[in-house]
Amino acid sequence: MPNLQAVAKPDTTDQTTEYFTPLATATPGPTAGERYAKGKAFAAAEKYQEAVDEFTQAINLDREFVNAYIERGIAYRHLGDYRAATADFDAAIKFVPPSPVAFRERGHVYVLRGNFVKALPDFDQAIKLQPADPENFLGRGQAHMLARSFDRSVADFNRALALKPKWPEAIFQRAKAFQSRGQRQNAIADLRFLLTLEPSDELQKQAEAMLNELGA
């Protein structure tokens, strides 16, 4: 017959229970992509130094982040640091395949520095790599204006407008080229048309000032 006597359970009320805390794991920081996105947001808000800082963090996390070099270069350009901007575009161009945007943006910096000799080959290369981008023709047209090659600048602005019709910036630049060629009526026509397109406040002021200068 089985022993039905209850077996006393040990009293554990006075025993100490040991609790083990798991090792803390480090919280991962922002990724290169997140830093880049934050930099883009700062740039859109025209907070260019903050943008530079974020793009730098993105590059530190990913040394081959081509767009981060390009966007940091653009931010440096807005800050007036053309040397740093050029260095970033130089770095972006070295990657394979080379970026047409890097060539174009470096060309813009050369235009701002008054160096059309270096600007034109960069825009040529950007067009070769990306012939359907109207911004490449706009940039080269501006470089031709700097070189006082007004016929070529008008041709490039025409090509930009063929790719992007009713583009206020290209129309304004073409008006300037027409004025430089002595084609007053063509310049006036472009400026008046531009004002019907609801351009930015700054571009509208420039167009109105130019019309006054032309006596229109």
Q: Average model confidence (pLDDT) for the chain? A: 90
Mean pLDDT of 47-55: 98
What does the alpha-carbon distance between residue 143 and residue 116 come to, in Å, rounded to a whole number?
5
The domain that holds 144 is classified in CATH as 1.25.40.10
Same domain, yes or no: 175 and 120: no
Mean pLDDT of 96-122: 95
pLDDT of 21 reads 45
% of residues, the chain, pLDDT over 70: 88
Report the candidate in 194, 139, 191, 187 with the shortest Cα–Cα distance to residue 165.
194
195-to-158, 162, 171 alpha-carbon distances in Å: 18, 19, 10
Task: Report residue 75: phi and psi, to 5°.
Answer: -65, -45
pLDDT of 26 reads 56
pLDDT of 17 reads 42
Residue 12 has pLDDT above 80, yes or no: no
* Residue 182 structural domain: 166-216
Same domain, yes or no: 72 and 148: yes
Segment 73-108, tens digit of pLDDT: 999 999 999 999 999 999 999 998 989 999 999 999
pLDDT of 25 reads 54
Other residues' Cβ atoms within 10 Å of the Cβ of residue 201 = 7
Domain count, the chain: 2
- Contact between 145 and 173 under an 8 Å Cβ cutoff? The reply is yes
Mean pLDDT of 11-40: 68
Domain boundary among 139, 164, 189: 164
